[in-house]
């Protein structure tokens, strides 16, 4: 019998979607590789796109660009029945809020994916009992989720994810709703199930996972520019300085000319946000808080800007006039 | 899928019960309305059947003796009796009247004047048969017991016998009196009748008259109730809609509560089709249980209605079939919602 590899390869993955009428780029040109049997960690704060990447890996979301390959399967090329088959047999999902079906017992929850796939009731029952035994819930099989602790519910969810013995297990913030004792149980379990023939990818903001992981993919957005760096940028009229959704680099101060900020809407139109003239600065929140750009900046005429890394900008901020709002910088010393 | 469906019904028992009880009450009223509509026919058939004749002779152009006022000479019976194919012939008089009981209560009745012992004369189920003038045999719906006295118009009668299920025009009870007494009430004693009833098959009918079958007489008898039946039919359609809305609303709310569950089930490989099937199944189960409860309720409620309510086996079978359709229709809105659920919502 030949073993199937669960190696994961993500090439230049870009995911965009529309929210509140705006086009949002959740993931921009992501590249990732993980080997068969590893426990890989997608580490980063809320909103950095971890769950979005998991959804794509699990075949629940189609990326805007890029490719995902799991072993021999080109996940991003699957459609219709093949995609359902992939979701059903190749991926197990562990959700943040457990997402067990409240009306079913622990055993029935684990049986559900098998029964939905058309497995015989007896086989599904045997497999569910075997897995619940493995996660230490032999005496809780007949309990409904409401009668189980958070840790027990998450263990049922792990058993459910394992039911088809999938190549890939994706877990979204699996310890988010657990106390420290339960966290330990679940971490141990996830470590155990990452074994040859199965890759486990965990999305979390919980740094405690780090020592257990074979691979850590840090998704925390970083400012592109070094903190102390300063640059001068010259733009022609209509030229774009940065796009809505781009990674942050500098805080810009206009030396001459002008900049208009606008948001790109899903229908291709623009929604004006603000305009800036000589001596005014803009775009400071992105580099300082490591957030993607929230608007696009475009020159309204021939413009010269001075870009400051976050530390360089803060060093000069004491000379600001106009408090914390957009204001004018005093002439450089 | 069946386990999931049944477990969810158990889990949401209170919600489910509200839908079932609401729909059951509507279904019960539907059955009663169907029974009332059907009762109009049944009472006409029973009353015409009790006359036990083969043909009814009326003036040409008249559609029946009960709903149309027309007269013919009572002596025509003798002429008809001599005709080929006729075994027996007797005149009958019918008129709507009010009976005043001994306690002074007025009761709306249908008077049938018959010749004692002749075709059309009743066989009493309690007491004696009609034999002489100023005697009467009454339907038990008049609440006049054997031996009681009562008056119709200015004539006094004594109840000598009682019959059951002899009503027409929506539960109005029949009172049998002698032909002569009925002629006195209707025609000031003239020897007239409204119809001549025959046993046998007349080969020829005298000029100016026509022969009607029992079915034609029944059809004519229920014709005045056509308006009422149309109203009942319209209300019935509305009731089906109400039942579908009750079940549909509960199913839709339940589906909204379970959107995350459906997303999870899709994410773990469940097909939209089988999830939708489970939801439809719930609505169908709700509708069928409601139909069963309604069947029991209709039996309990039937005596409360002053008109004949005839609910045949067919009505119960139709209810089950229509309940099935109501269940499917009721689940459509919920189905559409569930089919649209994005499995990625499970991560939300």
A-chain residues near B268 (CB < 8 A): 87-88, 93, 112-113, 116, 160
B-chain residues near A104 (CB < 8 A): 3-4, 7
Same domain membership, residue B17 and residue B92:
no
Q: Give me the number of domains chain B comprises.
A: 2
Q: State pLDDT tens for residues B135-144.
A: 999 999 999 9
Q: What is the pLDDT of residue A225?
A: 58
Q: State pLDDT tens for residues B38-62.
A: 888 888 898 899 889 999 999 999 9
Q: Do A112 and B265 touch (CB under 8 A)?
A: yes
Structural domain includes residue B242: yes
Same domain membership, residue B136 and residue B60:
yes
Q: What is the pLDDT of residue A223?
A: 60
Q: What is the pLDDT of residue B211?
A: 93
Structural domain includes residue B280: yes
Q: State pLDDT tens for residues B213-234.
A: 999 999 998 888 888 888 988 9
Examine the fold and report which residue of B166, B200, B234 is the final residue of a domain before the chain moves on: B200
Q: Do B267 and A104 touch (CB under 8 A)?
A: no
Same domain membership, residue B93 and residue B9:
no
Contact between B109 and B174 under an 8 Å Cβ cutoff? The reply is yes
Please give, rounded to a whole number of angstroms, the shortest distance from the CA of B340 to a CA of chain A. Answer: 14
Same domain membership, residue B183 and residue B69:
yes
Examine the fold and report which residue of B146, B165, B200 is the final residue of a domain before the chain moves on: B200
Same domain membership, residue B333 and residue B309:
yes
Q: Hey, is the C-beta of A93 within 8 angstroms of any chain B C-beta?
A: yes
Same domain membership, residue B230 and residue B178:
no
Q: Hey, is the C-beta of B277 within 8 angstroms of any chain A C-beta?
A: no
Q: State pLDDT tens for residues A104-163.
A: 999 999 999 998 888 899 999 999 999 999 888 999 999 999 999 988 998 999 999 999
Structural domain includes residue B215: no
Instruction: Kindly give the pairing relationship between strand B72-73 and strand A39-43.
Output: unpaired
Structural domain includes residue B212: no
Structural domain including B285 reads 2-43+226-347
Same domain membership, residue B320 and residue B263:
yes
The ipTM (two decimal places) reads: 0.75
Q: Measured between alpha carbons, how far is B156 from B13 in angstroms, rounded to an integer?
A: 63
| CB neighbourhood size of B10 (10 A) | 10
Give me the sheet containing A8-19, strands edge to edge.
Answer: A22-34, A8-19, A65-70, A73-74
Q: Do B269 and A54 touch (CB under 8 A)?
A: no
Q: Do A60 and B260 touch (CB under 8 A)?
A: no
Instruction: Kindly give the pairing relationship between strand B149-152 and strand B86-101.
Output: antiparallel
Structural domain includes residue B169: yes
Of A58, A52, A60, the C-alpha closest to A25 is A52
Rounded average pLDDT per 10-residue block, chain A, 333 residues = 72 84 80 91 86 90 91 90 88 90 94 89 93 91 93 91 92 84 82 90 86 88 68 92 85 92 83 89 84 88 91 70 45 37
Print burial letters for A42-69: b (CB count within 10 Å at least 16), e (below 16).
Answer: bbbeeebbbbbbbbbbbbbbebeebebb
Same domain membership, residue B156 and residue B105:
yes
Q: Measured between alpha carbons, how far is B91 from B77 in angstroms, rounded to an integer?
A: 6
Same domain membership, residue B299 and residue B276:
yes
Task: Report the Cα B162 to chain-centroid distance in Å.
Answer: 23
Q: What is the pLDDT of residue B113?
A: 95
Structural domain includes residue B272: yes
Q: What is the pLDDT of residue A226?
A: 65
B-chain residues near A99 (CB < 8 A): 260-261, 264, 346
Same domain membership, residue B160 and residue B61:
yes
Examine the fold and report which residue of B200, B216, B241 is the final residue of a domain before the chain moves on: B200
Structural domain includes residue B208: no
Same domain membership, residue B83 and residue B19:
no
Structural domain includes residue B295: yes
Same domain membership, residue B185 and residue B64:
yes
Q: Measured between alpha carbons, how far is A216 from A213 in angstroms, rounded to an integer?
A: 7
Q: Do A60 and B1 touch (CB under 8 A)?
A: no
Q: What is the pLDDT of residue B241?
A: 84
């Amino acid at each position: 019998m030949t073993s199937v590899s669960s190696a994961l390869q993500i090439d230049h993955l870009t995911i965009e979607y529309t929210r509140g009428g705006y086009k949002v780029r959740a993931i921009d040109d992501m590249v990732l590789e993980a080997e068969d049997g590893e426990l890989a960690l997608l580490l980063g704060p809320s909103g950095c796109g971890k769950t979005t990447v998991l959804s794509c890996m699990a075949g629940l979301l189609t990326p805007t660009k890029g490719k995902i390959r799991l072993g021999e399967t080109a996940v991003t090329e699957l459609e219709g029945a093949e995609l359902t088959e992939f979701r059903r047999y190749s991926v197990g999902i562990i959700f943040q809020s457990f997402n067990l079906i409240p009306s079913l017992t622990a055993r029935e929850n684990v049986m559900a994916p098998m029964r939905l796939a058309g497995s015989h009731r007896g086989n599904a029952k045997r497999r569910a009992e075997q897995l619940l035994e493995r996660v230490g819930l032999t005496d809780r099989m007949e309990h409904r989720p409401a009668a189980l602790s958070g840790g027990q519910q998450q263990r049922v969810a792990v058993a459910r994810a394992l039911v088809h013995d999938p190549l890939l297990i994706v877990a979204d913030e699996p310890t988010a709703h657990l106390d420290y004792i339960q966290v330990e149980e679940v971490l141990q379990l996830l470590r155990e199930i990452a074994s040859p023939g199965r890759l486990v990818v965990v999305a979390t903001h919980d740094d405690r996972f780090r020592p257990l992981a074979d691979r850590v993919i840090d998704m925390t957005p970083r400012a592109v520019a070094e903190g102390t760096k300063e640059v001068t940028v010259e733009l022609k009229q209509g030229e774009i300085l940065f796009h809505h959704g781009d990674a942050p680099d500098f805080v810009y101060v206009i030396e001459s000319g002008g900049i208009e900020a606008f948001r790109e809407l899903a229908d291709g139109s623009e929604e004006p946000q603000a305009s800036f003239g000589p001596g005014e600065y803009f775009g400071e929140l992105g580099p300082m808080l490591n957030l993607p750009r929230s608007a696009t900046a475009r020159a309204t005429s021939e413009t010269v800007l001075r870009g400051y890394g976050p530390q360089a900008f803060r060093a000069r901020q004491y000379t600001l006039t106009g408090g914390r709002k957009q204001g004018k910088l005093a002439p450089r010393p | 899928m069946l386990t999931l469906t049944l477990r969810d019904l158990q889990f949401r028992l209170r919600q489910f019960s509200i839908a079932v009880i609401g729909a059951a009450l509507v279904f019960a009223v539907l059955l009663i309305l169907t029974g009332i509509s059907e009762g109009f026919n049944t009472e006409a058939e029973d009353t015409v059947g009790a006359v036990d004749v083969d043909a009814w002779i009326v003036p040409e152009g008249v559609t029946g003796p009960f709903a149309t006022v027309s007269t013919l000479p009572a002596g025509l019976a003798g002429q008809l009796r001599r005709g080929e194919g006729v075994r027996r012939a007797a005149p009958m008089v019918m008129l709507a009247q009010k009976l005043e009981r001994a306690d002074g209560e007025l009761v709306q009745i249908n008077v049938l004047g018959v010749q004692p012992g002749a075709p059309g004369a009743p066989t009493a189920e309690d007491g004696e048969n009609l034999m002489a003038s100023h005697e009467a045999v009454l339907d038990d719906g008049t609440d006049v017991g054997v031996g009681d006295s009562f008056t119709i118009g200015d004539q006094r009668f004594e109840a000598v016998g009682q019959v059951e299920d002899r009503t027409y025009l929506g539960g109005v009870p029949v009172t049998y009196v002698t032909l002569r007494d009925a002629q006195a009430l209707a025609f000031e004693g003239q020897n007239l009748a409204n119809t001549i009833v025959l046993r046998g098959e007349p080969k020829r009918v005298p000029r100016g008259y026509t022969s009607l079958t029992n079915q034609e007489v029944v059809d004519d008898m229920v014709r005045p109730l056509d308006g009422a039946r149309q109203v009942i039919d319209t209300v019935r359609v509305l009731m089906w809609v109400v039942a579908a809305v009750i079940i549909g609303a509960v199913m839709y709310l339940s589906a909204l509560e379970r959107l995350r569950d459906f997303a999870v089930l899709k994410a773990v490989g469940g097909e939209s089709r089988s999830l939708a099937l489970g939801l439809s199944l719930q609505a169908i189960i709700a509708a069928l249980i409601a139909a069963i409860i309604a069947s029991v309720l209709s039996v309990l409620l039937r005596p409360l209605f002053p008109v004949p309510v005839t609910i045949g086996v067919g009505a119960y079978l139709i209810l089950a079939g229509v309940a099935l359709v109501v269940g499917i229709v009721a689940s459509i809105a919920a189905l559409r919602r569930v089919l649209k659920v994005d499995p990625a919502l499970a991560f939300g």
